[in-house]
């Protein structure tokens, strides 16, 4: 038999058939690695390149962070101090012995039996400030009503939050003062209901203010800083009371309510 010769090309010579890699089974060992694959497997993985942060920027970041923390602490402390100041300002300051002095005090006590006002002179420590003096005078009057055996019995021993002395609207300064009496809610809620006891309470307060502060010519009553219709359902608190003669005025249809002959004289 004649030997087979590979075909020839005129330009390249004989054509060789490409070698095929032997088929590997499932458990056949891997073939030899190429030099490029071996070097890639043996060399460690390269980490991504990171841009370094300049030292000046790092110092600036930490400085700003510390400044924010310090400002937060300062604002919290400032808020606590402001809250403390408001709490102290809301509480009435106690009167010390140096701020008060013994002075004559005239109380006009109501009598539920005959509907009259009776004068009771006392010597009592009073402050020099007119607003504080007015509050102390009314507090002493209410304390007398809360004592046993009172002729005008009340269930509370305190009831005046503050008294504000203001110029009378529409009059020149010095011609008289308007006393705005701020009553507490507890005093109003615990006051006996009825036209006579409510009216006597208001008239005794007005007469006592007039006797101890002659500059007071008009009196108004509010409850916890707000206007209220009545004291306990009857006595009107929306009107302005005249201290001279303890009569009530303002508004159409108002009826004058006078004290007895034992009331204070203007």
Q: Catalogue the E-assigned strands of 72-115.
A: 100-111
Beta-bridge mates of residue 108: 119
Whether residue 220 contacts residue 240, with contact meaning beta carbons closer than 8 Å, is answered with yes
Residue 147: helix, strand or coil by DSSP? coil
Residue 50 lies in a domain: no
- Predicted TM-score (pTM) of this structure: 0.56
For the segment 162-179, the average pLDDT, to the nearest whole number, is: 83
Q: Please state the domain count of the chain.
A: 1
Token look-up 């095929």 returns 20
pLDDT at 177 over 80: yes
pLDDT at 163 over 70: yes
Residue 88 lies in a domain: no
Residue 13 lies in a domain: no
Whether residue 200 contacts residue 112, with contact meaning beta carbons closer than 8 Å, is answered with yes
Domain extent, residue 152, equals: 101-249
258 pLDDT band (50/70/90 cuts)? very low
Residue 235 lies in a domain: yes
Residue 84 lies in a domain: no
User: CA-based angle 140:143:147, to the nearest 5?
Assistant: 140
Whether residue 108 contacts residue 205, with contact meaning beta carbons closer than 8 Å, is answered with no
pLDDT at 172 over 90: no
For the segment 70-94, the average pLDDT, to the nearest whole number, is: 73
Closest CA to 221 of 202, 208, 200, 243: 202
Res 263: pLDDT = 36
Non-local (6+) Cβ contacts of 241 within 8 A are: 202, 206, 218, 219, 220, 221, 247, 248, 249
């Amino acid at each position: 038999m004649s030997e087979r010769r590979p075909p020839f090309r005129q330009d390249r010579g004989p054509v060789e058939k490409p070698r095929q890699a032997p088929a590997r089974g499932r458990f056949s060992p891997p073939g030899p690695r190429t030099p490029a694959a071996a070097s890639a497997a043996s060399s460690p993985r390269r980490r991504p390149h990171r841009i370094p942060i300049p030292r000046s920027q790092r110092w600036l970041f930490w400085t700003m962070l510390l400044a924010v923390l310090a400002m937060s602490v300062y604002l919290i402390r400032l808020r606590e101090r402001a809250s403390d100041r408001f709490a102290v300002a809301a509480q009435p300051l106690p009167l010390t012995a140096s701020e008060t002095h013994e002075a004559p005090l005239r109380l006009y006590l109501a009598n539920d039996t005959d509907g009259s006002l009776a004068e009771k002179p006392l010597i009592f420590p009073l402050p020099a400030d007119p607003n504080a003096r007015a509050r102390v005078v009314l507090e002493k009057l209410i304390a007398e009503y809360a004592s046993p055996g009172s002729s005008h019995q009340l269930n509370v021993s305190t009831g005046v939050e503050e008294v504000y002395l203001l110029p009378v609207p529409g009059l020149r300064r010095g011609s008289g003062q308007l006393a705005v009496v701020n009553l507490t809610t507890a005093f109003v809620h615990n006051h006996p209901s009825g036209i006579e006891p409510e009216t006597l309470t208001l008239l005794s307060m007005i007469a006592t203010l007039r006797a101890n502060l002659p500059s007071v010519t008009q009196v108004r009553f509010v409850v916890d800083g707000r206007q209220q219709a009545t004291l306990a359902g009857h006595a009107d608190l929306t009107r302005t009371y005249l201290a001279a003669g303890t009569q009530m005025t303002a508004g159409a249809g108002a009826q004058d309510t006078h004290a007895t002959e034992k009331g204070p004289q203007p």
